[in-house]
Amino acid sequence: MALTTPFSVVGRRQDLAEVDTEREIGTPRPTLEPGHWEIRAMVGPGQYVESIVNNFRLTALDWRKDHPGE
């Protein structure tokens, strides 16, 4: 299904020390810095965002498996 109205994706990186300012994220394959991101999409009248997904990694990492204990 083709979009009839332009859309934009914006986000900001967050960590415990600071929250970045919101910026536009290019589509369809942006490269984002590591960290936790707050993402939102803006669409035209009569449309809504059903979901925002990460197609690169479909499952969450188990921190205990990926990072050995010290």
The model's pTM: 0.56
Inter-CA distances, 17 with 1, 5, 24, Å: 41, 37, 22
pLDDT at 29 over 80: no
Q: What is the pLDDT of residue 61?
A: 57
Q: What is the pLDDT of residue 12?
A: 92
Task: Compute the residue count for the chain.
Answer: 70
Backbone angles phi, psi at 10, to 5 degrees: -125, 155
